Every structure is written in C-alpha cells, then in structure tokens.
C-alpha cells in the first residue's frame, strides 16, 4: 500500500519538480501540469496492467506463476497464492481420505452400495457388483429398483421398513449352485441409503447340514430305540418261556449294539473334526496295521457269512506312516469291513499297500461285490448316505464309515478315491503324501 502511494506521490513530485525547475519560463506551468498528468496516466496504466494480469491469472484457474511484482497487487497475488495452496492441500488431504475410505469399502467382503435420496446408485464396491451383477460404466445413477428385480427385494424397498434384513438369491444363483444373499438397507442423512449385502450361502448350507445331521441321527437312534421299547414291553406283559425270553434278549442286545456302534462312530467323527491334526513325527508300522486288520477281517467274514471270502492281504516291505495309529486303523478297517459286508461269500477281496511311482503310497481294498452306480460315487462319503439302505443296516452299518475314512485320509495329507463298476466290484483307495511315508526299501 505504502509503495502504491509512494509511487503515485513520486510521479506527482517529479511533475512538481519539473514545474519548479521550469517556473521562470513561460512554459513552466503547462509543462509541470502536463508532466503530472502524463506521470499519473503512466502510473494508472502500469497499475491497471498489473491488475489485469492478476485477473487473467485468476480467470485461468490461478495456474502456474505470473509476474505481478511488488506493491498492493504483489501482496494480493501472494496472499491469493497462499490461500490457494492451503486450500489445495486441504482438498488433496480430503481426496486422499475419501480414496482411502472407498478403498476400505472396496476391500470389504460385504457388498456396499451408496444410494442418493431418489434411490439411485451413487457408488458400489466390487462385491456388490458381484452380488447384484452391477456394471460400473452402465449402472451408476440408475434406480436400484430397476436393477435388482427380485420380488422380495422390491417389496422390501417399497415397504420402507428397514429395521430388518431380507434374504434373496444372488445374481449368479443357479439351481445347481444356489447363492443366497442377506440384504439390509440403512437410511442415513438427507434421505440417502446404504445397502449392505452379505453372501450367506455357506452359512445356510452349514445350517441345512446341521438340521439334516440332527434329523438323521434322531432317525438312526429312534429305530433301534422303538424296537427295544417294543421288546421291553413284550417281556413285561407276556408270559414267556425261558427260550423265548432268551431270544428276545438276544434281539434287544442286537439293537443296543447297533446304537452303541452309531454313538461310537459319531464320537469318532466329532473327535476327527475337533482335534488337532495327527502328529507327523510318530511313525506307525503298516505291517502291524495290516496284521491287525487281517485278523479282524477273517473274524468278520466268519461272523457275517456262512462261507468265508477269498481274502488276500498283500504284505509290503516294512513301511511306516506318520500319524495316528488309531485313526489309520479305523480308516483301513472301515474299508475292509465294507468290502466284507457288501461282497457275497467266497468272492475275492484284495487288500494292498504299495509305494506309488509318483512318491507317497496307496492303500487299497478291491472287492468283487455288487459295485456302485456312478451317480452315487460323489456322495458316498457324505454322512448317512447309503446306496443299499437295508443291506447297510442288516450288516450293522451306520452310514458314517466312509465319512470317517475321508476325514482320516485328509488329516494324513491324503485322499479317498472310489472306483466302481456295477456288477463287477469296487476299489476304495487312500493315497498318502510322500512326506508321511517312510519305507526301509526306499531308504526314505
Ligand atoms: P455303511 O455303514 O452304510 O456301510 P459307509 O459310509 O461305510 O456306510 O458306506 C456308505 C455306502 O456306500 C454304503 O451304505 C453302501 O451302500 C456303499 N458301499 C460302501 N462300501 C461298499 C462296497 N465295498 N461295495 C458296495 N457298496 C459299498
């Protein structure tokens, strides 16, 4: 400001000086006035030029630098620049915060959709795009109701009662592979809404499995219990001779045995699911397991059939498996037991353990039983899944054997494989990872 006044005063002083210098001449006064006028005009032109330069700079979005100089315009220019710099910094910071915030929402495992007061889509994350089939280019600012056309959701949207969520099929839901979503709208400031979606397919499946499991267990236990209760009633109400009484008691024992086996298998399964993986530094002799299984197999074959099977156990060079002896025995004896139970007497059953060429080892049981149709194979290791229900029950099956085998195999880094041809027989095998096997012959 001072510089501005000073420069103007300097122009005036220069003119006054010139007038004073030329005063004795007749042109002194006009020259002094003319120089004062020219000086003032010059000053005005210079000042206006700087003002215009600053205006042009502001009109151009205050980009880059411009030469304004000192004085009033210089200070105004500096202050505007400082304010702009501070505003830019704040904008950049809030932009970064917004980007971070959106990145966090983007990383959310749940779908997030921001809706304006007219229920139009303002923003959505990848998960929401997947859940509802939104397209980032096409669907922004579209009305949500036009894109999510599930009738349940339309009713929910129209109802305006958002204190609960609803479940609806996801965009990718198919009969063969259903996808279930839990969807909840949350109103917030200015009539806007936040739509949250969660994929609950796995939760629903787990819940359905739990329901099925409870129903299956109840059903499996109810049958022998009903039979037992019937026999008890008979013993209590009918005058029976000793022989009849013994026969009934024998039948009751069978039913009690059946329940006991079922409970034992259930406990085994729950132990397998709930316990830490078997140790990988405790070595179990395969030969010992095979001997034990062979003895049991011959006893079972004699017990169930009048004529026994042609049982062939292929004893391998002494190999060891790292893991739990009890679990391995349970898996092997389940497979051998099934072969004996389902294969008619006198037919051949082969049990073998061998080192596979790719490393690792294979334990397999091959029988000449009825075989299993292809469509059943993928479901055989589900709990309580049976192909031949009555044969399974008659021979003391619980429907849990293969589920146990599959768990044991997985816990020992292996897998259960099933091959079968109806009318010819089946081969059930467990493959073990090389890291869990050591054999004397291989020196591993
Ligand atoms: P279960 O106690 O009923 O035998 P599993 O889980 O061991 O239960 O087996 C499931 C079903 O697989 C059996 O009910 C039976 O129908 C079929 N199955 C298992 N092993 C054999 C086999 N060796 N031959 C024919 N069918 C078999």
- DSSP assignment string, 146-204: HH---HHHHHHHHHT--SS-EEEE-TT--SSS--EEEEEEEEEGGGEEEEEEEE-HHHH
Residue of 401, 419, 422, 430 to mutate, ligand 1, most atoms within 8 A of C-beta: 401
pLDDT, residue 444, reads: 44
399 Cβ below 6 A of ligand 1? yes
Residue 142 half-sphere exposure toward CB, CA atoms < 13 A: 14
Residue 181 half-sphere exposure toward CB, CA atoms < 13 A: 28
Query: Is there a domain that residue 308 lies in?
Result: yes
- Specify the ligand 1 atom closest to the Cα of 404: 6
Residue 236 half-sphere exposure toward CB, CA atoms < 13 A: 6
Distance (angstroms) between ligand 1 centre and the Cα of 403 equals 10
Check if the beta carbon of residue 419 is closer than 8 Å to that of residue 437: no
Query: Is there a domain that residue 36 lies in?
Result: yes
Q: Give the other-Cβ count within 10 Å of 387's Cβ.
A: 17
pLDDT, residue 443, reads: 44
CA-CA distance, 15 to 295, in Å (whole number)? 130
Query: Is there a domain that residue 104 lies in?
Result: no
- The helix or strand, by DSSP H or E, that contains position 242, with its residue range, turns out to be helix 242-274
397 by DSSP, 3-state: which?
coil
* Residue where one domain finishes, among candidates 258, 275, 292: 275
The residue assigned the tokens 């229920």 is 119
Distance (angstroms) between ligand 1 centre and the Cα of 328 equals 18
Based on DSSP, count helices (H) and strands (E) in the chain, helices before strands: 12, 13
The residue assigned the tokens 């081969």 is 427
Structure tokens at 420: 């079968």
Closest to 266 in 3D by CA, of 388, 386, 384: 384
Instruction: Summarize the chain as % helix, strand, coil (round to 5).
Output: 55, 15, 25
**Contacts of 188 by beta carbon, 8 Å cutoff, 6+ apart:** 194
Check if the beta carbon of residue 39 is closer than 8 Å to that of residue 3: no
CA max distance for the chain: 165
Query: Is there a domain that residue 103 lies in?
Result: no
The CATH code of the domain that includes 252 is 1.10.287.130
Distance (angstroms) between ligand 1 centre and the Cα of 30 equals 126
Structure tokens at 272: 């397998």
* Residue where one domain finishes, among candidates 161, 177, 199: 199
Distance (angstroms) between ligand 1 centre and the Cα of 386 equals 6
368 Cβ below 6 A of ligand 1? no
Vertex 67 angle, CA 64 and 69, to 5°: 135
* Residue where one domain finishes, among candidates 38, 72, 98: 98
CA-CA distance, 360 to 439, in Å (whole number)? 10
Check if the beta carbon of residue 80 is closer than 8 Å to that of residue 55: no
pLDDT, residue 441, reads: 60
CA-CA distance, 441 to 321, in Å (whole number)? 14
Please tell me the residue having the least CA distance from ligand 1 atom 23. 339
The answer to whether residues 342 and 417 belong to one domain is: yes
Q: Which residues pair with 352 in a beta bridge?
A: 314, 364
- Specify the ligand 1 atom closest to the Cα of 425: 24
The answer to whether residues 303 and 416 belong to one domain is: yes
The answer to whether residues 302 and 381 belong to one domain is: yes
The answer to whether residues 305 and 171 belong to one domain is: no
Q: Specify the pairing of strand 361-367 against strand 425-432.
A: antiparallel
pLDDT, residue 1, reads: 65
Distance (angstroms) between ligand 1 centre and the Cα of 270 equals 20
269 Cβ below 6 A of ligand 1? no
Distance (angstroms) between ligand 1 centre and the Cα of 415 equals 17
Query: Is there a domain that residue 392 lies in?
Result: yes
CA-CA distance, 126 to 5, in Å (whole number)? 63
Closest to 341 in 3D by CA, of 406, 286, 387, 404: 387
Structure tokens at 193: 């809404």
CA-CA distance, 429 to 377, in Å (whole number)? 13
Residue 237 half-sphere exposure toward CB, CA atoms < 13 A: 6
The answer to whether residues 232 and 126 belong to one domain is: no
- Specify the ligand 1 atom closest to the Cα of 365: 23
Decide: pTM greater than 0.75: no
Structure tokens at 431: 């493959």
- Specify the ligand 1 atom closest to the Cα of 402: 6
Distance (angstroms) between ligand 1 centre and the Cα of 252 equals 25
The answer to whether residues 219 and 320 belong to one domain is: no
158 burial level (CB within 10 Å; 0-12, 13-18, 19+)? exposed
Domain range spanning residue 41?
2-98
The answer to whether residues 185 and 302 belong to one domain is: no
The answer to whether residues 299 and 386 belong to one domain is: yes
Check if the beta carbon of residue 358 is closer than 8 Å to that of residue 429: no
The answer to whether residues 240 and 290 belong to one domain is: no
The CATH code of the domain that includes 136 is 3.30.450.20
pLDDT, residue 223, reads: 87
The answer to whether residues 252 and 187 belong to one domain is: no
**Contacts of 209 by beta carbon, 8 Å cutoff, 6+ apart:** none
Give, for all 444 residues of the chain, the pLDDT tens digit: 676 777 778 767 776 777 677 767 777 777 777 777 887 888 889 888 888 888 888 888 888 887 777 778 888 888 988 999 999 999 999 999 999 999 999 999 999 999 999 999 999 999 999 999 999 899 999 999 999 999 999 999 999 899 999 999 999 899 889 999 999 999 998 899 999 999 999 999 999 999 999 999 999 899 889 999 999 999 999 888 999 999 999 999 999 999 999 999 999 999 998 889 899 899 999 999 999 999 999 999 999 999 999 999 987 678 999 999 999 999 999 999 999 999 999 999 999 999 988 889 999 999 999 999 999 999 999 999 999 888 888 888 899 999 999 999 999 999 999 999 999 999 999 999 999 999 876 444
Closest to 269 in 3D by CA, of 378, 401, 386: 401
367 Cβ below 6 A of ligand 1? yes
CA-CA distance, 387 to 373, in Å (whole number)? 9
Q: How many domains does the chain have?
A: 4
The CATH code of the domain that includes 322 is 3.30.565.10
The answer to whether residues 113 and 223 belong to one domain is: no
The answer to whether residues 31 and 166 belong to one domain is: no
């Amino acid at each position: 400001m001072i510089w501005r006044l000073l420069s103007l005063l300097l122009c005036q002083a220069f003119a006054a000086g010139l007038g004073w210098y030329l005063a004795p001449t007749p042109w002194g006064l006009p020259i002094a006035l003319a120089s004062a006028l020219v000086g003032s005009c010059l000053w005005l032109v210079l000042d206006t030029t700087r003002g215009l330069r600053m205006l042009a700079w502001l009109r151009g979005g205050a980009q880059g630098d411009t030469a304004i100089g000192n004085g009033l315009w210089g200070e105004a220019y500096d202050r505007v620049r400082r304010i702009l710099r501070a505003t830019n910094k704040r904008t950049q910071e809030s932009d970064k915060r917004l980007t971070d915030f959106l990145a966090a929402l983007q990383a959310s495992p749940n779908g997030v959709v921001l809706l304006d007061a007219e229920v139009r889509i303002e923003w959505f994350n990848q998960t929401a795009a997947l859940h509802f089939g939104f397209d980032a280019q096409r669907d922004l600012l579209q009305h949500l109701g036009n894109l999510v056309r599930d009738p349940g959701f339309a009713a929910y949207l129209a109802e305006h009662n958002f204190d609960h969520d609803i479940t609806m099929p996801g965009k990718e839901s198919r009969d063969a592979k259903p996808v279930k979503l839990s969807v909840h709208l949350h109103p917030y400031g200015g009539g806007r809404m936040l739509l949250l979606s969660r994929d609950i397919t796995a939760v629903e499946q787990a819940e359905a499995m739990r329901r099925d499991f409870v129903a299956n267990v109840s059903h499996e236990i109810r049958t022998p219990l009903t039979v037992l209760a019937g026999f008890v009633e008979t013993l209590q109400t009918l005058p029976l001779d000793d022989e009849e009484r013994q026969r009934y008691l024998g039948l009751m024992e069978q039913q009690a045995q059946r329940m006991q086996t079922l409970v034992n298998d259930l406990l085994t399964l729950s132990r397998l699911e709930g316990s830490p993986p078997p140790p990988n530094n405790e070595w179990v002799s395969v030969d010992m397991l095979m001997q034990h299984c062979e003895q049991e197999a011959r006893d079972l074959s004699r017990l169930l059939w009048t004529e026994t099977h042609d049982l062939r156990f292929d004893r391998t060079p002494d190999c060891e498996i790292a893991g739990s002896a009890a679990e391995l025995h349970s898996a092997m004896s389940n497979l051998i037991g099934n072969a004996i139970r389902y294969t008619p007497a006198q037919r051949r059953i082969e049990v073998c353990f061998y080192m596979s060429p790719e490393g690792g080892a294979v334990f397999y049981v091959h029988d000449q039983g009825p075989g299993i149709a292809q469509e059943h194979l993928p479901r055989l290791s589900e709990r309580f899944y049976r192909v031949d229900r009555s044969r399974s029950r008659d021979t003391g099956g619980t429907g849990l054997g293969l589920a146990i085998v599959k768990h044991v195999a997985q816990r020992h880094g292996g897998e259960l494989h099933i091959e079968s041809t109806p009318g010819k027989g089946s081969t059930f095998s467990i493959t073990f990872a090389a890291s869990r096997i050591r054999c004397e012959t291989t020196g591993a």
